[in-house]
Amino acid sequence: MNMAKNKIFWYAALLLVGALIISGSIAVWMVYGKGPTTYTVVMGPESFSPAFLKIEVGDSVVFRSDNGAPFWPASNEHPSHLSYPDFDPKMPIAPDEEWTYTFTEEGTYGFHDHILPDYKGEIQVVANGTVTEETEPVTFDQCLHMSPVTLKVSCWAAFLDHKMETEGVLKAFEVFTEVYNADPEFVAMGCHGAVHLMGEEAYDLYKEGGQVDFTSNTTVCGYGFYHGFLGRLLRDRPDLDEAVLFCEALRDSYDISEAESIYRTCFHGIGHGMVEETPLPEYYWGKAEALIDPALKACSLLPEAYQHRECADGAFNGLTRFMVNDLFGFTYNTEDPLGWCERFKDNRINYVSCNFELAQHFATQDEIMHNRNIADMLPFLEGLDLEVQVVVVETAIGGLIQADVIRDDNSDYYRKCEVFTEEALHYACIRGIVTGFFNFGEPGNEAPKARAFCDSEAATPWQRSVCEEALASYVGQG
């Protein structure tokens, strides 16, 4: 199983997040071999893969693209390329062509795509004879201290993938918890995106006949594991009926308390699979309606309203992550981020779903929430009916707290929520915080952290009652 085949939207996030969130198929391996050796780096839908190479002087690297568009790999910094001026083709490379560069000087060289500079990587060139023949994955300690954060995130992705491939899903999730607790930057980038990728990798393992254990461990971080797994399943076998049958079998086959929630979230993963084709055919580039409308039509065929909504959420989520990461001709409109949803007003489920997904990225856009200031989102609520405003506030606040869940004390959010003078929106703000604890909180410790927030002395009696009600809905007491 090769990380280069998959993707991670991890900017939220990944990006979220993200921001996703999110963001790309990034394999991070220390690659070893005798020189002169030729390696290949592929520019995929969201990133270079692998994003990190360790090679010897005299080795060559072939750069090619799977995106169907011109690309331009070159050394940092953008746009000057002065850190290694010769490492620069001086012009775009056609999508069906390759560019090869032979490294003749020792050093560590960051590189990027000159056309899409958010695509980044690093090549370490060492003296001849100092690299062994084995292929060895990066270690926990190497990932923990890697910089910048984009390479660190991709390093963790490869590290967890290796654990899953060699030791299974359960061990990978045990290690995931260790990573979560050791690296605040990893948390800020969004654990949902991480387990989303792990779900995709698990599907590859499942497809090859490997054992995939679905237990309560795999439900952490907002069920992202199942979103990724079902998305891959549907892309691999685009049959809606078959996907639904799989969800039903999954619900009925595992004796865990979250079985019904897993069943519901399966439909979110189905929506992902309808949109996030990789690579996305050029016909769809920049054509949001052409991409999303067939998926929404298929979602509407599901018999239950909640299935339709979950499916639509997954479809809009995939499209929105393309927008946030400026992929395939899609752009997130920070001046009017929710305006695009007006075209779906004739279908209430799709309209609410669209606003829900687009609002998730408010926290990652400084043009919308300057310095994470909640009050800055108020103008974007104007003109929306109250139900949609509630949805937007709850999801935006849930995304905002993503970077703060690791803090010991988040009681300052009670004061921040007071910017909403409408009681329903104030309520949604507090509920969004509780939702954030469960979607992005420490695996296995989500409820205690949320409980500590509800018990804070900073809360007014009314705020505490709202928090308690939200908490009860997650822990099954209400």
Tell me the domain boundaries of the chain: 29-137, 189-475
Q: Any long-range contacts for 425-430 (C-beta under 8 Å, 24+ apart)?
A: 425/381, 425/389, 425/390, 425/393, 426/463, 426/466, 427/390, 427/466, 428/389, 428/390, 428/391, 428/393, 428/394, 428/397, 429/374, 429/393, 429/394, 429/397, 430/463, 430/466, 430/467, 430/470
DSSP class of 360: T
Q: What is the pLDDT of residue 351?
A: 97
* Per-residue pLDDT in tens (0 to 9) along the chain, 478 residues: 333 223 323 322 222 222 222 223 333 334 434 457 888 888 877 678 777 788 888 889 999 988 788 899 998 877 778 778 889 998 889 988 999 999 988 888 888 888 887 788 888 888 877 665 444 566 788 788 877 676 677 678 778 877 877 888 888 888 888 888 888 777 776 677 778 778 887 888 788 776 677 766 777 777 788 888 887 888 788 888 888 888 888 787 766 666 777 788 888 888 888 887 666 787 888 999 999 999 999 999 999 999 999 999 999 998 998 888 777 789 999 999 999 999 999 999 999 999 999 998 898 888 898 888 999 999 999 999 999 999 999 999 988 888 888 888 999 999 999 999 999 999 999 999 999 888 888 887 888 889 999 999 999 999 999 999 999 988 754 3
Q: What is the pLDDT of residue 18?
A: 29
d(CA 391, CA 321): 19
d(CA 312, CA 352): 10
d(CA 49, CA 72): 15
For the beta carbon of residue 352, count every other beta carbon within 10 angstroms.
21
d(CA 322, CA 24): 11
DSSP letters, 78-143, are: TTT-TTSTTS--SSPBPTT--EEEE--S-EEEEEEESSSTT-EEEEEEE-TT-S-SS-EEPPHHHH
Residues 6+ apart with CB under 8 A from 277: 235, 284
Amino acid at 155: C
Q: What is the pLDDT of residue 299?
A: 94
Sign (positive/negative) of CA torsion 449, 445, 372, 355?
negative
pTM over cut 0.75: no
Q: What is the pLDDT of residue 349?
A: 96
Residue 62 phi, psi dihedral angles, 5° rounding: -95, 125
Q: What is the pLDDT of residue 24?
A: 32
Q: What is the pLDDT of residue 143?
A: 82
Could you tell me the two tokens for 448? 């205690």
Q: What is the pLDDT of residue 257?
A: 66
d(CA 178, CA 170): 13
d(CA 356, CA 391): 6
Question: Residue 48 in 3-state DSSP?
Answer: strand
Q: Which of 182, 164, 277 is nearest to 218 (CA)?
A: 164
The CATH code for residues 29-137 is 2.60.40.420
Q: What is the pLDDT of residue 20?
A: 26
The answer to whether 13 touches 402, Cβ cutoff 8 Å, is yes
Tokens 């921040």 correspond to what residue? 416
Q: What is the pLDDT of residue 207?
A: 81
Q: What is the pLDDT of residue 66?
A: 82
* N-term to C-term CA, the chain: 42
Q: What is the pLDDT of residue 427?
A: 96
